[in-house]
Each structure stands twice: as structure tokens, then as C-alpha cells.
Amino acid sequence: MTATSPTPEPPNAPSEPARRSTSWFGADGKMGFVHRSKLYNSGRSPAMFDGRPVIGICNSWSELTPCNRHLRDIAEAVKRGVLLAGGFPLEFPTMSLGETLMRPSAMLYRNLMAMEVEENLRSYPLDGVVLLAGCDKTVPAQLMGALSADLPAIMLTGGPMLNGKFRGQDAGSGTHVWQFAEEVRAGRMSREEFGQAEACLSRSAGHCTTMGTASTMACLVEMMGLALPGSAAVPAVDAERARLAEQSGGRIVELVTEDLRPSSILDRRSFENAARFNAAIGGSTNALVHLSALAGRAEVEFPVDEFDRQARDIPLLVDLLPSGRFLMEEFSYAGGVPAVVAELGDRLHGDARTVTGRTVAENYAGARNWNTEVVHPLAEPVQPAGSATAVLHGNLAPDGAVIKLSAASPELTDHVGTALVFDTVEEYYERCDDPDLPVEASTVLVVRGAGPRGYPGMPEIGNLSIPKKLLDAGVRDIVRITDGRMSGTSYGTIVLHVAPESAAGGPLSLLRSGDRVHLDVAKRRIDMLVDDEELARRAEQAPPAGDADAPTGGWAELYRRHVGQADTGADLDFLRGRRGHAIPRRHL
Ligand code: FES
Ligand code: MG
């Protein structure tokens, strides 16, 4: 068998810059033969090897990640765009992280997926990449890998599902599940009704419909200039998303020609814009962990306190669950990210760079807000400035902790209460419905051992159910503290991401039930009211809670040995930074 026309001349006249892929497909002799030959088995034409940009389509499609299940269709649209622009598209799968199914937590595997993506980009004959992701961890994982490899890259997120509908009302992913579950525990909803809601909340392909982590990350990726303007909020099943996929495919070919890489786009301004934007949309606390990790990969200095500092004068503009009323579908129709950018105006760095080759200001010039109920004007915000995620410090969290104020009860944000401490989340749930649990509305409920090393994987356990005894008494919120995370779809007065975590010997491990704890958000403090001598005595007596050094073998052991704390993004120490995409040694 021969190909339909001879193998083309080695590409790239001397005046053209050599492409990475040329090292594979432009090679003479047996090496070039082997590299091209196998790809002919899919019936490709020799023209594909003429030196055109080879574009990887990095796909986190998986039936185990239902939020990403449509990404194979999206990939076909990306391919059309790549071909139209004169590139050679090659789709490849990556590990996928299904938030709802993976145990102990999809977060345990974010860094593994990032590592896999990075190594794929470096080891294959790729000149640029389109990243396809949607569900919570798949977006940061792909981006982390792409930033470290620093090939020209553009992300297209998968878009949200259509609004959930239950009994004629909109119902949002996550948020309504937590609400309904509490209703069942309080006896106001039957188990049968609860079961009926299951399918109603997931009506189409796409990610969660609330401003949870997936929606937040989609918006922030766009705001940071790594996705096409206007792409974040469009529903997964809207034809517009396929058009955006085509356009992303077209644009990546140009990005390769322009050699515009993430390192020439991202800088401090991009991260400041993301932090400010996160405040305006009432974004997920998880964004702080993921953006810290991304800053580490991009080698941009952006300490976790910056999220607080940047957000302080940004009001909450977007009225979406879990902090507000609407869902992503309405947000999309209101104009999505461009509508918020239009309202924020000069609160953003208009000169930050983006994948379009233009600045933020140029990309969004003329953007309009089409529904001021969903996206409020700056002058009439949903909540005033200062309601975003605050970063706390104190003797309980020397390296930081976070609290999402837009989801907290204002009366609990300056609160002294008695701690009730649990070393594991399982221990808490064994006892939380016990009528004799020593808990009052003023109790500060603490669950530790849920950090990156301790669990391991820093799971979303922070939205701890209210003890039944309090629920029956009509209490809907109490102060909760953990070194874990919470779902971006959750709400409540919950102090999260305590660093260092208890399993790493953080002072959280010294707290005992009965100690007094003071949460003072205005002063950005979280302290246990225990004197230093007593804490020193406890430190000598008791080893840190948790068993972080227990050998487990496999990935979990590598993870536990190398994972950093929440304030630096819970990345592995040896994965931070850029390693580039130098062409590896050849073996033929
Ligand atoms: Fe995948 Fe929420 S579970 S986005
Ligand atoms: Mg989530």
C-alpha cells in the first residue's frame, strides 16, 4: 500500500521557524517513516505532514465524568476549526476527574492529571493544544499541566447544564441537594420526593448549574485570558458552544504561528483580574486553591492574601446560587462574563493580555449587560463590597484560612464559641444526630484531618450538616471550621482551608473540645483563646492529629510526601513552575 500521493518534501523553508512537530513529521529516513506511517492508518492525506501546525485536542471526556460527557462532540467542532485554519488536529484523551464519583476526592488526583497532561504535551509532536474540560478539577488540572509545558494553549470549558427544574421551580446543582437533604432530615420532605428530584437536577450535558467551582473556574479562565471572550457561560448544549469550539480551533492555529504561549499571556494582572472577578461573581472558595496552584505553575507571585486584598472593594454583582437566586443559564442570557466585565469597567486591568492577541479592554469593548436582575450594576450590587471570600490568619491558621462571606450568616462573622472537635469526618457523622451531642447554636464545630495530607486529598467535607438537635430547634447555620474544602455550591459560616493542616502539625491539631474559639472576620482573625504556654504543653504531649506519614504505596504515597498546603494551592512541590516543551531525545 502507498499513500495517495508521495510523502511531501520536508517542510519549513529555511526562512520559516521550525515547528516542534517538524522534528517528528518532517524527518527523513526510518524515523520520519515510522512517525508518519502509523498515522496513515486513519486515512489521512500526506498534506497533513506538510509542516502545518499540529494541534492536540486534550480531551477529558469520560462517561465517569458526566459533566464532560459531551466533549467528544465538542472536539469534532474544534477539529473543524483547526482544519479550516490550516492545522492538523489530533485528539487525545487524558485522565478525567468525575467530581461526583471519585473517592476519596477528585482533588487527590488533580495533580496527577496535571502531570499527565504536561507530559503528553511534551512527549508528543504537538505545536499547540486546545484544552477541553468542564467538571471542577479537570479545568485546573489541564491548565496546570499546560502552564508547566508552556505550549501555545487555549481552553474551551464545557459549559453548564440547562437549569434544573423540580416542581415548576428552578433547582441548582449541589445547592438544592444540600437544601433538600436538610429538609429530609428535618422531616419537611419525604424520601420519595427527594428521590424524584435526582433526575430533575441534571437535564442535559454540562457541568453544575450554580456558581460552584466549575462555573467559577470557567469564568476565571476566560477572565484570565486563556479562553475566548464570551465562552464561559454558554450552556453546554447550545449551538453557540460548538461555534466557540470551531473558533477556538481556528485561533490555536494562529497562536502557534504567533508563538503566543501562556507565559506571554499570564502575569500578575491576569491573577488580580481573576481575584477581583471572583468577588464580583460570588465564586467558589475552591478557586483560591486552584488559582494559587496556577500561579505556582506560571511562576507569578500571588500569595493567598491577595485574593482578599484584591476583592475588598469589589461588590457581589452576580445573583446566582449558592449566594443568590439564579442559575448559569440566566447568567449566559444576561451576557455571561462580558456583562460583568462591562459593569466592572476600570476595576479590572484592561491592559491584561489574552489568547486573542488583544487586551481585556479590546476583547470586551462594547460588551453589554442584558439583564440587571441577574448581573447587577456596580451602583446597585447584590451585596456590597467586602462580601467576597476573606482570608483569615490567627493562632489557629498561621498560614491562612478562608471564609466565603456571601454565603455566611452576617451575625456569625464576629463570634466566640466553644469548640466541639472531631478528628475525622466519619466520627462527626456517627454522632451528629445524637440527641446528647454537647452542641448549642453558639458551638464552633471543628472537623480536622481533612487537609491535603491528612485525608489525603483535601476533600469537600466543609459543609458539615447541622446537628439534628439544632436543626430541630430551627438553627440553620453555625460556625464550622476545617482544614478541608467545601463544594463551591455550598453555603454557611464555614472557615475552610486551615493551613497548616492538622496532619502537617498545624496548631489546629492542638485544639480541644471545650476551648473557646474567636472568629472575627472584620479583623480577618481566627484564634483559639488558649494561651501560648498551654499550647506549647499540648504540643509536647500529643503528636499531631492524623496519620500523614502512613505508607500507602502508589500515587497516594507520592502525593502525601510532596503535597503542599492549601495556601500555596496544594500542588506537589516538584510540579510547581514551568518546565517548557523542549523536544525530547529520539529513540529511532
Ligand atoms: Fe462536575 Fe459539579 S459535579 S461540575
Ligand atoms: Mg463542586
The DSSP code for 485 is B
Specify the 3-state DSSP secondary structure of 491. Answer: coil
Are 285 and 358 members of one domain? yes
Check whether residue 294 and residue 306 sit in a common domain: yes
Range of the domain at 26: 1-49
What pLDDT score was predicted for residue 390? 97
Q: Which atom of ligand 1 is nearest to the CA of 66?
A: 1
Same domain, 421 and 533: yes
In angstroms, what is the C-alpha Rg of the chain? 25
Please tell me the distance between residue 6's alpha carbon and the centre of ligand 1 in angstroms.
48
User: Quick one: pLDDT at residue 8?
Assistant: 47
Do the interacting molecules here have an ipTM over 0.90? yes
Atom of ligand 1 nearest to the CA of 65: 1
In whole angstroms, give the CA distance from residue 83 to residue 247. 11
Which among 363, 382, 417 is the end of a domain? Answer: 363
| 489 Cα nearest atom in ligand 1 | 2
Ligand located closest to 139 CA: 1
Pocket test residue of 208, 210, 217, 321 for ligand 1, highest count of atoms within 8 A of CB: 208
As residues whose CB is below 5 A from the ion ligand 2, the structure lists: 136, 212-213, 487
Question: Does some domain include residue 423?
Answer: yes
Give yes or no: residues 191 and 226 share one domain.
no
Residue 83 CA, ligand 2 centroid: distance in Å: 35
Ligand 1: which of 109, 113, 136 to mutate, most ligand atoms within 8 Å of CB?
136
Q: Is residue 576 part of a domain?
A: no
Quote helix, strand, coil % in the chain, to nearest 5. Answer: 40, 15, 45
Residues 226 and 195 in one domain: no
Instruction: Assess whether 248 and 277 both reside in one domain.
Output: yes
Query: Looking at residue 6, what is its pLDDT?
Result: 46
- 396 and 321 fall within a common domain: no
CATH number assigned to the domain comprising residue 404: 3.50.30.80
Domain stops at, among 173, 200, 227 = 200
- Nearest ligand to the CA atom of 490: 2
Is the same domain home to 86 and 38? Answer: no
> Same domain, yes or no, for 159 and 195?
no
CA of 210 from ligand 2 middle (Å) equals 9
Ligand 2 centre to CA of 284 (Å) is: 9
138 CA from centroid of ligand 1 (Å)? 10
369 phi/psi in degrees, rounded to 5: -100, 120
Give domain status of residue 382, yes or no. no
pTM: 0.95
- pLDDT (tens, 9 = 90+) of the chain, 588 residues, equals 444 444 444 444 444 447 999 999 999 999 999 999 999 999 999 999 999 999 999 999 999 999 999 999 999 999 999 999 999 999 999 999 999 999 999 999 999 999 999 999 999 999 999 999 999 999 999 999 999 999 999 999 999 999 999 999 999 998 899 889 988 988 899 999 999 999 999 999 999 999 999 999 999 999 999 999 999 999 999 999 999 999 999 999 999 999 999 999 999 999 999 999 999 999 999 999 999 999 999 999 999 999 999 999 999 999 999 989 999 999 999 999 999 999 999 999 999 999 999 999 999 999 999 999 999 999 999 999 988 999 999 999 999 999 999 889 999 999 999 999 999 999 999 999 999 999 999 999 999 999 999 999 999 999 999 999 998 899 999 999 999 999 988 889 999 999 999 999 999 999 999 999 999 999 999 999 999 999 999 999 876 655 555 767 999 999 999 999 999 999 999 999 999 999 999 876
Residues with CB under 6 A from ligand 1: 67, 99-100, 135-136, 173, 207-208, 212, 214
Residue 224 phi, psi (nearest 5): -75, -5
Measure 134 CA to ligand 1 centroid, in angstroms: 8
DSSP code, position 18? P
Residues 310 and 274: beta-carbon distance below 8 Å: no
Nearest ligand atom owner, CA of 206: 1
In a domain, 394, yes or no: yes
Closest Cα to atom 1, ligand 1: which residue? Answer: 135
CA distance to 253, 308, 434, 543, per residue, from 510 (Å): 55, 27, 25, 9
Same domain for 335 and 220: yes
Whether residue 438 has a cis bond before it, omega within 30° of 0: no
Among candidate residues 328, 363, 398, the one where a domain is terminated: 363
In a domain, 44, yes or no: yes
CA distance linking residue 536 with residue 385, whole number of Å: 39
Phi, psi (5° rounding) for residue 430? -65, -30
Name residues whose C-beta falls within 8 Å of residue 480's C-beta, 6 or more positions apart in sequence: 444, 445, 446, 447, 462, 463, 464, 492, 493, 494, 495
Residue 580 resides in a domain? no
User: Which grid coordinates are listed for 317?
Assistant: 454583582
Q: How far is the CA of 203 from the centre of ligand 2 (A)?
A: 17
Closest residue by CA, ligand 1 atom 3: 99
Q: How far is the CA of 489 from the centre of ligand 1 (A)?
A: 10
For residues 342 and 214, state if they share a domain. yes
Q: Is residue 572 part of a domain?
A: no
Is residue 345 one of the residues assigned to a domain? yes
Tell which residue, 201, 151, 149, has the closest CA to residue 180.
Answer: 201
Give the ligand at the shortest distance from the Cα of 157.
1
Domain count for the chain, please give it. 4
Start-end of H helices in 317-421: 328-333, 336-344, 360-363
Do 116 and 210 belong to one domain?
Answer: yes
